[in-house]
Amino acid sequence: MLSRRHLATCQYKTILVAGAPRVACKAHGVVTVSVPWAEPGSGLTAMFEALVIDWLKKASTSAVSRLMGLSWNAIDGMMQRAVKRGLSRREALCVTLMAEGYEDLKGSKYDWLYNPENMTRNQKKRFKALRDSTLKTA
């Protein structure tokens, strides 16, 4: 049985309890299947963690700790998981950008910095080709 703290309901602490399937894995033995509403081992639902992360944007860790009834370590764990999720999304985006048209962009960073009026004929030609391409760059 999984037990995760969820957002308060009418000012009452809410705990979700659910039976998650367990499966036999050749590499790891018997493991509990991940659920979409919580990260493994967190003890909190994803919605609860999202609320805490939002509060941390506005208040100190100790203030959020008092407000939510959590320890400093619990909040630190949430922050670490949030940073890990953000970094994994950023790495996935970088891999996509590098794979998509990387050869066309290679060596072109200065072409984007020049004023078109001051470019040589060759630079203008390269820049026009890049601008007209279907690459998705930012």
Q: What is the mean pLDDT of residues 32-42?
A: 82
The residues pairing with 15 across neighbouring beta strands, listed in sequence order, are 5
Is the pLDDT confidence value at 138 over 60?
Answer: no
Q: What is the mean pLDDT of residues 110-119?
A: 70
Q: What average pLDDT is seen over the chain? A: 80
Q: Confidence band (pLDDT; 50, 70, 90) for 124?
A: confident
Q: What would the two tokens of residue 125 be?
A: 């030609």
Is the pLDDT confidence value at 96 over 90?
Answer: no
pLDDT the model gives residue 123? 80
In the three-class reduction of DSSP (H, G, I as helix; E, B as strand; rest coil), residue 37 is classed as coil
Q: Which of 73, 17, 15 is nearest to 48 (CA)?
A: 15
